[in-house]
Structure 1
Amino acid sequence: MKTVAIVSQKGGVGKTTVALHLAVAAERDGKPTVIIDLDPQASAATWKDLREDETPIVQPAQVNRLGVILAEAEKQGAAFVVIDTSPNSESSSLSAARAADLVLIPCRPHLLDLKAIGSSIELARLAKKPFAVVVNAVPPRGGLASEADMAIGTYDAPIAPVHLSMRAAYYHCLVNGQVAQEYEPLGKAAEEAHELYKWVRKQLDM
C-alpha cells in the first residue's frame, strides 16, 4: 500500500481537489483507494455524500486515529491512500507527512501563497519524506506558472512537473460528487489530473 499526504499550512490552495482527483484516478487505474479526511471541514466527506459511486472510500478521522485507520485500510486491501489534511494544524500535518510515502504541497501561483509555503516545505523536510510542490489554479494564459516555479526554486524545493490550471471543470465536477475525469473526460482538466496521477504513480513505483 502506498500513501500520499496532501499538506499545506495555508487554506484555499486546493488540497481536497488534488486529493479527490488523485484518488479517483487511482481507482480508475484498478487500485483500491481510501481517502482519509483529517480536515474538520470534512470537504472530502461532503463530496462523498454527493457521489453515486461507492468508491473511493472516504474516511473522516482525527489524527490520533491515523495509524489505526491506515492499518485497517491495508488489511482491507487498499493499494493507495490519500490523506487530506487540515490547514493551520502543524501537528496533524506532520503526523500525516510522517505516515506517507510522498508528501504533496499544493500552492497557487500568487505572491501570498508562494510566501506561505515555506512552513509546509519545512514540515515535509522534518518528516524526512520525499515531497514536491504542486502548482495549482494556474491561469491558462500568461507567465504565472514559470514565475511560480522560479519562486518555489528559491526554497530549493522539488516541483511536480504537472501544473493544474484554473479550469471550470475542477469546480463544477465537485458539485455532483465527481472529478474532472468523470465530469468532462476529454477536457483539459481531466488530462492534467491524469498526468499528475501518472507522475505520482511513478514516484511511488506503483
Structure 2
Amino acid sequence: MPTIAIISQKGGAGKTTLALHLAAAAQDAGRIALIFDTDPQATASQWAAWRQDAPPEVIDSPPPRLCAKVEQARGQGAEFIVIDTPPHADSAARAAVEIADLVLIPCRPSAFDLSAIRTTAKLVQLLRKPAFVVFTAGSPNAPRIYQEAGDLVAGLGTPACPIQIPDRAAFRHASAEGRTVMEFEPGGKAADDIRSLYTWTCRQVDASTKSCKAKVSA
C-alpha cells in the first residue's frame, strides 16, 4: 500500500491540486484512497466539504500525529495514501517524508521556483527517500522549458518526473465545483495528464501495474 508525500517549501506550487488528483485517480482505479491534510489552511479539507465528502476521503492531521494516523489507516484497509503538506513547514515536510514510499515535489518551471526547491531536495536526500520533481502550472506547449528545468533539478540530485501537469483551465473549473478534472472533463487533456501521472507513480512504488491501469485504460 503506497504512501506518497507531496512536499514543497514554496507556496503556489500546486501541492494540494496534485495530492487531491493523485488520490482521486487511485480511487477511480478501484483503490481505497485517502488524503492526509497537514496544512493548517486545510484547503484539501475544504475541497472535501464542497464535494460533500465524496471519495477520496480527506483526513486532517497535525504532523505529530501523522505517523500514527497513517498506520491506523493502513490497518483499516487504505490502499493508497497521499499526504498534502503546507509550505514553509519543515516539521510537516519531514514527518511526511519519513513515512512515505515516494516523494513528489511539485514545482513551476520558473527560475524562482526552481531555486526554491533546493531545501526540499536536501531534505529527501538526507532521509534517503526516492523523490522526483513534478513540473506543474507551466505552459502546455513548452518542451524546451521543461527540458531545461529538468536538467537543472537533476543537477540538484533530484530527477524530474517525465509526466508534467501543465496549467489547464479544467483544474480551476473543477476545483471551484469541488470536483476533479476526471469528473469535470473525463476525456480532456488535464484528466489524461493525471491518469498518466498515477500510472507512472504506481510503477515507481512497485505497485501492481495491472491494478493501477484497470480503469485508467477503460
Which bin holds the TM-score, normalised by the shorter protein?
over 0.9
Counterparts of 1:83-122 in structure 2 under 5 Å? 83-122=83-122
Contact kept in structure 2, 1:35 and 1:82, CA below 8 Å? yes
Structure 1 equivalent of residue 212 of structure 2: none
Write the letter of the residue equivalent to 2:93.
S
Write the letter of the residue equivalent to 1:144.
I
Structure 1 residue 70 and structure 2 residue 70: aligned? yes
Structure 1 equivalent of residue 126 of structure 2: 126
Counterparts of 1:1-206 in structure 2 under 5 Å? 1-52=1-52, 54-142=54-142, 143-206=144-207
Contact kept in structure 1, 2:19 and 2:35, CA below 8 Å? yes
Q: Give percent identity, aligned residues only.
A: 44
Backbone CA RMSD of aligned residues: 1.1
Contact kept in structure 2, 1:98 and 1:128, CA below 8 Å? no
4+ long deviations beyond 6 Å: none
For normalisation by structure 1, the TM-score amounts to 0.97
Contact kept in structure 1, 2:47 and 2:178, CA below 8 Å? yes
Tell me how far apart the structure 1 counterparts of residues 36 and 79 of structure 2 sit (CA, whole Å). Answer: 14
Write the letter of the residue equivalent to 2:169.
A
| 1:12-65 alpha-carbon deviations (Å, 9 max, x no partner) | 100001001100000011110110000001010000001146211100110111
Q: Which runs of 5+ in 1 are unaligned?
A: none
Secondary structure of the equivalent of 1:82?
A: strand
Number of positions where the alignment pairs a residue of Structure 1 with one of Structure 2 = 206
Secondary structure of the equivalent of 1:65?
A: helix
Distance change >3 Å, CA 73–CA 58, structure 1 → 2: same
Secondary structure of the equivalent of 1:163?
A: coil
Tell me how far apart the structure 1 counterparts of residues 36 and 196 of structure 2 sit (CA, whole Å). Answer: 22
Tell me how far apart the structure 2 counterparts of residues 48 and 183 of structure 1 sit (CA, whole Å). Answer: 15
* Structure 1 range deviating more: 66-75 or 190-199: 66-75
Q: Which runs of 5+ in 2 are unaligned?
A: 208-218
Tell me how far apart the structure 1 counterparts of residues 148 and 167 of structure 2 sit (CA, whole Å). Answer: 16
